[in-house]
Chain A
Amino acid sequence: MLNDPQHYVTGVLNRDRLTLARTITLIESTHPNHQQLAQTIVDRLLPYTGRGIRIGITGVPGAGKSTYIERFGTMLTGLGHRVAVLAIDPSSSRSGGSILGDKTRMERLAVDPNAFIRPSPSGGTLGGVGRKTRETMLVCEAAGYDVVIIETVGVGQSETTVASMVDFFLVLMIAGAGDELQGMKKGVLEVADAIVINKADGDNLLRAEIAQKEYQTALHMRMANSPNWCPPVLTCSAVEGKGIDKIWETILDHRDKLTVSGEMAEKRKTQALDWMAFLIDEGLRHWFYTSPHVREALPTLRRNVEENKTSPTAAADSLLAFLYTRNGR
C-alpha cells in the first residue's frame, strides 16, 4: 500500500478503477494506519462529492435485489450514467470470512465499463457498515459515478443505517410471504421512499398485484414523513425487466419534488448532522473504552455487578465520573 494520500486523491479524481478500488480497501481496513490515511483521502475528496443520486435498496434475502440492480444498473448506463454499486454482506460472522457472490447475479453490469461494483464483507460490525459505506459512497461520487446504489439485506439494523445516508430508499418485497413483514422490521417501511413488489411475473403476477394493494393500504395508515412525497407501491419483474423504468421515473420525480421544495438540501444537511452525531458517539465510545483507566476498572466493576456487590447505577456512575476528571488519559 502506498502511503501518499495525494496518489489516491489524484487517481480517484482521474476515475482510475484500480485506485478507487484500493481507496475503498483503505476505508474498509481495520488497521489504524490505513484508517488515518483513508481519513485524509476522504477529506480531500469531499469537495468533489455530493453530485450523485444516492439510492439504497433493501429487501429480505432472495427478494431479488441483485437481479434488480443488474437490470436497473444496465438501464442507467444505457442512459449514459455512471453507476457504482456497493453491496454489503452482513451474513459474515466475526470468526469466519464471507462469500461475496453478488456479481454472479449482476453478470452484465459487472463487465460494463461504466459500472463499478464492490461487494463488501461487513465483518460483523454494524456501526462499521455505516461509516465505511458512507465514505465509500463519497469516494465513488468523487470518481465520477453519478448514481450510487447501496444494496443491503433487510434483516438487521444495517438498512436503517443505509436509509440515513441515501436520497432515496427503496424496499424490495416479494408477494406471498405473509410473515415477511415480521422478518423485516416494520421500521424499514417507515423510512421507505418506495416499496416495490418484485417478481411480478408468471404465476406470481396476480399475487404481486394483491400484495401491492395490501401495502398501499398499510402505507396509507402511517404518518407521512415528508410533506412533499407520498411513498408509492410499485411492482416489477427484475427477471423480465418489467417496471424498471417506472421506478427510475419515480426516483427522478422524488428528486425533483424534494429539490424544488428545498427538502433534499435539508435532508442532506440533516444526514450530515446525524452523521456527525454518530461519529461523535462512536468516537466517545472508542475513547472511553480504550482509555487506560476504564480498561483497568471495567473488569472488576463488571464482576462486582454480576455478584451483586455493586449496583449497576453506582458502577456506571463511578466510571462516568472519570469522564469529568480531565486527567483520565
Chain B
Amino acid sequence: MVDSKLVLAGQTIAYTCYVLAIMALVAWFAYRVTREGKPGGVRPGWFWSFVSLLVVIGVSLHLITYNTIPWVALDLHRGSAQPDTTITIAVAEHRFQLPADRIVIPCGRHVLFRVTSADLTYGFGLFREDHTMVFQMQVVPGHDNDLLWEFDRAGVYSIRSTEYSGPAGYQMVVPDAVEVVCPTGNAAAPTSDAEATP
C-alpha cells in the first residue's frame, strides 16, 4: 500500500504550485487593473471556460484520490472486509489501554484497529518516529470506531490522541506502542510482549 507520507508529499507539491500560481495571478491583475486597457471588458466565453474548469477540478479531485489512495476504498468498504488481525484498544480517563506494551504487526496484513471510549470523545492516531502522521480517526463514546489499515514497511510508531478531550488530553501519547515487522524489513527484531492476534 502507498505510504501516507508519499501522499502528503504529492499534496504539498500540488498545493505549493497552486499557491505560487494564484499569488502571481492576483499580483499581475493588481498591476494591470491600474493600466489603460482595451475597452469592452471580459468576454463571457472566458467565464464559462473558468466555470467548466472548476467543475472538472471539483469532480476529478475525489475520483483521483479514490483511485490512487489505497486506504480510501479499504475504509469505505471495511464493513464487508475480513481483517487478518484485530487490535482492540479501550480509552478512558485520558488513557489508552493497549492489549500489550508493544503491539507487533506483520507487514502486508489487513489490520483492524477497534477503539472504544468509555467517557469522552478522543482521537486515535499513529505517528512515525519523525512525528509525521500515518493515520488518525475520531474515537466517539458509545460507538464502534474502527479503521482498517495495511502496513507495507517496517517501523516503530507512537499512538497519540488526535482529538482534544480537556487540558489533560495533550499528554495522551504512548511512545513506540506499535511495531511493524516485515520479513525483509530493516526494523529491529521484535522485542514484543505480544503479537497482534488474528
Co-assembled chains A and B: no
Chain B interface residues toward A at CB < 8 A: none
